[in-house]
Amino acid sequence: MLRDEIKQIMPHREPMLLLDEVYLDENGEAVGKYEVRGDEWFLQGHFPQKPIVPGVIQCEMMAQACCVLFIEDLKGNMPLFAAMDKVKFKCVVEPGDTLELRCRVKKVRKPFYFTEARAYVGEKLCASGEFSFVLMRG
């Protein structure tokens, strides 16, 4: 699904909607993409001479892609971070890069969802972590 379709299931809006597209693959993994254009608000001042995508923004991108894993339960609910664990950053993400976000469910104990995610530029792993969410009535 593309941005307009994502907006139908997610409460995020610009400038915090950080997915260009997302889908569930044949293995049940969520796969999201975001092209870093260079004019994003989070690059202003981070850093002026060599802009890089902040790690917390990469976490938010992975988290938004994770939400597609529980798409049926999102209707009428708001996904909120409950925890982040084992988050690691391996390389910088710069303007011109396209991040591919790969996410899978580890376990579900409604209203809690436990996931793990990885962010790649090409074949290079840039970030990874475990994310848990709680769905609150929205």
Catalytic residues: 46
49-73 burial: b if 16+ Cβ within 10 Å, else e: eebbbebebbbbbbbbbbbbbbeee
- Cα 122 to chain centroid distance, Å, stands at 16
Residue 129, classed as helix, strand or coil, is: strand
φ, ψ of residue 95 in degrees (nearest 5): -55, 140
